[in-house]
Copies of this chain bind each other. A is one copy, B any other.
């Protein structure tokens, strides 16, 4: 009770599991998995090392939980940002907007990108998880493109899968540039240009009039 842990009435018990997740996500996003020690996470969460093992089997478990949390949350956000039946052009813009939001306001996107790169050859299981996530995301973008093609809004001689790869890569790459050099790379403008470019490219050939 003297050890600072007592909460006042109504102070929402702040389950330390949640705090640990928050701290872990932040640390992993900035320092990577290998660069983050359990001790660091615990300290940031305001508990001791031992407490981590009350909630998670080991460091990897914490990692997977964090990834599941962030990936799920992000995908949910994107789906919410793109209601079914929406204008496909608006849909693509909204996806970019969601990415922008999560890349600047939260560090969810950076968390994903950082761990994805790190996991490539060091954590096959995690890497597989990310692979699935990217496939879902590309599939999602490709489906938007496909709908646009069916609606006659997009030209038909473009493979939706390749186009979605290019778009997704463009978004990720722009983010990395921005994390690296926020003073020079204005993420908003780069993403806007990226979407404009994509839409122009997808516009049916005639006298292409992108939004």
The chain A residues found within 8 Å of chain B, CB to CB, are 30-32, 34-35, 89, 113-114, 116-118, 120-122, 127, 130-131, 134-135, 138, 158, 162-163, 165-166, 168-177, 179-181, 184-186, 189-190, 193-194, 196-201, 203, 206-211
Contact = CB atoms under 8 A, between A and B. Distances in A.
Contact of A118 (B35, B162, B172, B203): B35
Contact of A207 (B32, B113, B169, B207): B207
Chain copies in complex: 4
A185 to B, nearest CB: 5
A200 B196 CA distance: 12
Contacts of A181: 131, 134-135
B162 A186 contact: yes
Nearest to A177: B169
Given A168-B177, A196-B201, 15 more contacts: A118-B118, A120-B179, A131-B180, A138-B184, A162-B189, A165-B177, A165-B185, A169-B169, A169-B174, A170-B170, A173-B173, A203-B209, A206-B207, A207-B209, A210-B211
B197 A169 contact: no
A121 to B, nearest CB: 4
A26 to B, nearest CB: 11
Given A172-B176, A173-B169, A32 B34 contact: yes
B207 A203 contact: no
